[in-house]
């Protein structure tokens, strides 16, 4: 574990990734109008996730500087950010199945990479928010799997 002392905090980086996921889902909503409800709901959730993380970063900025951070946390956030960027770059040329698979891979990656567990804090509010985001991301993953199975 290391103390994060980068120019941009990990919560800011995490929030940026959530905003980019929201942007990706908004592109999919515009492209796949027959499934826009799904994509718009996901985009809204991701935007809310980004706002929650940004709010935590602002309110607990001094405390965050003293958090114990997993050594691989910056690499995890960079990996996911690059994957989102790649998906955004290809979004206009994606078919619905590819879009769903990209979204499912993203949500799965957020869980598998333990994105919500890379921070070690005893602050109950922060822990509760991160646990909530993890549960909602798992809900996204399950919903996408069901949609892919039932509709495609």
CA distances from 131 to 24, 28, 40, 50, 119 (A): 23, 27, 23, 14, 11
Chain-wide mean pLDDT for the chain? Answer: 86
Range in 2-11, 63-72, 95-104, 123-132 the model is least confident about: 2-11
Q: Closest Cα to residue 22, out of 56, 50, 60, 62?
A: 50
- Assign a CATH topology to domain 2-151: Ferritin (1.20.1260)
- Secondary structure (DSSP) of 53-81: HHHHHHHTHHHHTT-EE-TTHHHHHHHHH
Strand ranges (E), 77-140: 119-120
Band the pLDDT of 5: cuts 50, 70, 90.
Answer: very low
Q: Give the number of other Cβ atoms within 10 Å of residue 100's Cβ.
A: 22
pLDDT at 7 over 80: no
What residues does each domain of the chain span? 2-151
Contact between 56 and 129 under an 8 Å Cβ cutoff? The reply is yes
Cα separation of 152 and 21, whole Å? Answer: 22
- What predicted TM-score, i.e. pTM, was given to this entire model? 0.87
Supply the DSSP symbol for 145: H
pLDDT at 115 (0 to 100): 63
């Amino acid at each position: 574990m290391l103390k994060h002392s980068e120019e941009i905090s990990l919560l800011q980086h995490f929030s940026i990734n959530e905003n980019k996921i929201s942007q990706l889902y908004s592109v999919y909503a515009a492209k796949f109008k027959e499934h826009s409800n799904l994509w718009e709901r996901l985009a809204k959730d991701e935007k809310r996730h980004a706002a929650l993380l940004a709010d935590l970063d602002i309110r607990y900025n001094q405390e965050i500087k003293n958090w114990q951070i997993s050594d691989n946390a910056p690499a995890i956030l960079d990996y996911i950010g690059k994957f989102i960027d790649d998906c955004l770059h290809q979004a206009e040329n994606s078919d619905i199945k590819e879009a769903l698979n990209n979204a499912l891979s993203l949500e799965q990656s957020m869980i598998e990479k333990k994105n919500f567990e890379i921070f070690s804090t005893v602050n109950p509010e922060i822990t509760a928010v991160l646990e909530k985001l993890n549960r909602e991301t798992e809900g996204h993953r399950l919903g996408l799997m069901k949609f892919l199975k039932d509709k495609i």
